[in-house]
Amino acid sequence: MNPRLRRLYFVTPGHPAARLELVVAALRGGARIIQYRDKGGDTEARRREAEAIRMQCRQAGALCLVNDDVELCTAIDADGVHLGEADAAIEAARARLGADRIIGASCYDDLPRAHAAAAAGADYVAFGSVYPSPTKPQARRANLDLLRLARRELEIPICAIGGITPANAGPVIAAGADMVAVIQGISASPDPEAAARALQALFTVPPH
């Protein structure tokens, strides 16, 4: 397992307002992984923003991943990509990115998909939505029993995503998640840095 694929994972919100500031707050709060996620069409604006976020991650010693866009990942020298079911195949992404960059794969509520992703060379898999998610209200649900089963069967890190906040992340971590990926649990908080710090601190609390 990659020892850097652990703990708090902040995914940038879809709206660009204050996105860089939120990344800085999350990093100050202890986030170890940042995923730049922007489905906008302005290629140059996306590249500039992604480069700024990658620079902040490097300064903080955190990983910078790009959602969905293998070419943007290479252009800004990010640490890797996160791929959904409609994105590039893991094998094609690995051929383009090489052995050293990280590839994560969304597996939703599908454990066989996670096994296939691991066999194809994914460095981690993500399950969710664990809780109802305001970002994706129609998302498939992945319960804690699935996380427990995945932890027993998989040899790569597991990320949980979907509706996770400081108030409900504890059971997710106890079920076996190596990482919790959070969007609005940080971005919608009145104090994003404090929310990130509270989430990160849960990884130091032994499970009951």
pLDDT of residue 208: 41
8 three-class SS: strand
Q: Specify the amino acid at residue 31.
A: A
Separation of alpha carbons 181 and 161, rounded Å: 5
- Decide if 200 is inside a domain: yes
In a domain, 199, yes or no: yes
The values of phi and psi at residue 25, to 5°, are -65, -45
- Residue 63: which domain range? 7-204
The CATH code of the domain that includes 197 is 3.20.20.70
Separation of first and last alpha carbons in the chain = 24
Whether residue 2 lies inside any domain: the answer is: no
Any residues with CB less than 8 A from the CB of 11 and at least 6 apart, and which? 34, 35, 37, 67, 161, 181, 182, 183
Q: Which residues of the chain have pLDDT under 70?
A: 135, 205-208
Express each pLDDT in 125-148 by its tens digit: 999 999 987 767 777 889 999 999
Q: Does a structural domain hold residue 93?
A: yes
The DSSP H or E segment spanning 15 is none
Q: Tell me the pTM.
A: 0.94
| pLDDT of res. 139 | 74
Instruction: Identify whether 37 is a catalytic site residue.
Output: yes
Does 80 reside within a domain? Answer: yes
Could you tell me if residue 116 is inside a domain? yes
pLDDT of residue 206: 54
* Nearest CA among 52, 56, 2 for reference residue 31: 56
In the set 46, 54, 106, 189, the catalytic residue is 106
Choose, from 7, 19, 32, 37, the residue flagged as catalytic: 37
Neighbouring residues of 120: CB distance < 8 A, sequence distance ≥ 6: 89, 90, 91, 94
Q: How many separate domains does the chain show? A: 1
**Does the active-site annotation cover 136?**
yes
Residue 1 inside a domain? The answer is: no
178 inside domain: yes
39 as an active site residue: the answer is: no
Which of the residues 4, 28, 136, 141 is marked catalytic?
Answer: 136
Q: Which amino acid is at 19?
A: R
CA angle 55, 56, 59 (to 5 degrees): 85
